[in-house]
Each structure stands twice: as structure tokens, then as C-alpha cells.
Amino acid sequence: MANTNNPATVWNSPNYVGELFLAGQNQTPFLNMIGGLNGGKQVNAWEYAMDQNYSLEAVSAQQAVTETQSLSAPTAWTYVRGQDVNTCQIYRQAISLSYARLSNTGGLVPVDAGLMPAGEQPKISEKDFQIQAALKQIALQAEYNFLNGTYAQATAANVAATTGGIITACATGNNVPAGTTDFSKAWLDALLAEMAGNGASFDNMVLFCNAFQKQAISDVYGYAPDDRNVGGVNIKQIETDFCNMGVVYAPKVPTDTILVANVGICAPVFLPVPGKGYLFYEDFGKTAAFEGGEIYGQIGLSYGYKYEHGTVTGLTTS
């Protein structure tokens, strides 16, 4: 059913019999793996630090110190610290239902010429349903933002803060451009080698990809059993020189991209509203014969040290 800014009425929001099945792209695997909308970290400011990074001296040869040299102080090396930051952004999703719609809990859309499937009953609370659907909508938006978002500060009240996504961060971290070629083991090997060279720890690694690249990965890494009754492969884990990583279908990853992420250091970040909480529903003021309100939250992403993750971009998409 199409979204609308008008209150839900008996006529534009009927009851349906049976289970709730969501249509369309509603999967949020990255968000779920890092804590969902019920877990994560609390901050007390819009902007927050995700890591503390610094560089060591390059080591390419054996150090040799004579006894004479040891009698005087060595040249000092200052380890300069830096940090990567991100920001929360506002999430809002409103619902609105007429009093007549709230009252019509028994009205049904006919199934099979009016026959009700055995054991199935209509929903009782339309408001509860609308709130749950709105939460799922926020989760879907957060999934997209956490993967693809661009970091921007709110420099004024009329300027929106937007959280930076992990794929966006990899563009200035570990990224291997594939140059519009097919996915291959060589591209993944090149990415993992770059990540290793930049100090990735390879803990809790997961490869996220869209439907097209998921099939390409199965084609490259798959080995079908020699069986007359079973065919096909579905690669869910890849063993590499650096780690074993899960392979997860994630619809919001761009079609030409694969993401390798250390999910153990990623987390949603919540800036609570005093007296209300992290992600809450609040009724609007009464003005007419409808009941409405909104879900509100201030949420960002912490992906830690960006060199723990990496992407291959520019893969063919057809």
C-alpha cells in the first residue's frame, strides 16, 4: 500500500487476515549484526570519536646501537595522535489514524471470496501495527545510511547532520578499484593484502554484497557436489590467508561493490533525549478526530578504525 501523509482511514487502510508479510527490500543484515535498534553505544554529544589513531616509525632494517651511542640520549620520536569522528542524525517517522479506523478492528478484506483461513484472525490494534511498521522503516533507512551515508556536521539549526557510512569511509581507507571488471578471487586477495598492510586485525570479518555479487562469489568459490539429485552452490563462508569470513546478502550495498567489515568493532550510537530515551514514540497534540504521533531518535554509526574494513568497487553489474 502506498505511503500517505493523510490519516489512515477505514477505506485506505483495511485490515488483512493472516500473518504480516513485508514486501520489497526490507533486509537489514548490517544493522542487525552490529546491534540493531536495541543495542549499541550511548553518547552525550552530536559528534563523537570512533578511534584514536597514530603512526609508528617505519621499520625496514635491523637497528644497530653501539655502546658509545648508548651513552647519549637518542633522537626523540613523537607519536602524533589523531581521531576519526562521526555524528548522529535525526530519525523521524510519523503515523496517523482516524478514530473510525481505530474502531474498525473487525473489518476484513475478503480472502477467497470471503472465506477466512482457519485459525487466522484480523489484527486488533492498528496503532501497534503502524508503530511496528514505522520502526522497520527507520531500521531500513539506518541500514542504508550506515552503509552509504556521507558525514556532514549540522552547522546551523536549518542544516541536517548526516552520519558517515562504512562504505563511504573505505573510499579513503582500504579500497581496490576493479575498473569495471567481473568479481574474481584476485580482487578479494588484493583487498585483503591491502588491509593487512594497513594493520587490519581480521577479527569477526564479514563480507557484505548485493544479489548480483553474491551469485558471482558463489560462481568463483563454489564447488558443486557430484550428485545426480543435488546441484548448485550457496557460499556462506570463505576461508582466506588472513581469516574465515562470512558472506552475507545485503540489498543496500551498491551493486558494483563488496564490503569486508570487522563487525565486532561497529555499533550504532544513540544520543538520548533527556526524560524520553533513545528511540521513542510520542503522541501529537489532539486537533481533530484522529490519533497521530511520531517515532523519534538521534542515531549514528561507529565503525572504529576505518582501516579495519575495506571495499572492492567498480565491479561489473550485469
DSSP string, 122-138: B-S-HHHHHHHHHHHHH
The tally of domains found in the chain comes to 1
279 has a pLDDT exceeding 80: yes
Closest to 267 in 3D by CA, of 300, 310, 309, 306: 300
Dihedral-angle region of residue 171 (phi above 0 means left; psi in -120 to 50 means alpha; beta otherwise): alpha
Average confidence (pLDDT) over 42-55? 86
State the pLDDT confidence band at 88, using cuts at 50, 70 and 90. very high
Average confidence (pLDDT) over 4-12? 69
List the domain range (segments joined by +) for residue 273: 29-49+84-104+120-224+231-315
> Is residue 62 in a domain?
no
46 has a pLDDT exceeding 70: yes
pLDDT value of position 19? 47
> Is residue 7 in a domain?
no
One-letter amino acid at 85 equals V
One-letter amino acid at 215 equals Q
Distance CA 53, CA 69 (A): 31
- What pTM, to 2 d.p., does this model score? 0.85
> Is residue 78 in a domain?
no
> Is residue 5 in a domain?
no
Which CATH number do you get for residue 150? 3.90.1690.10
> Is residue 140 in a domain?
yes
CA distances for 27 relative to 32, 49, 76, 283, angstroms: 9, 28, 52, 28
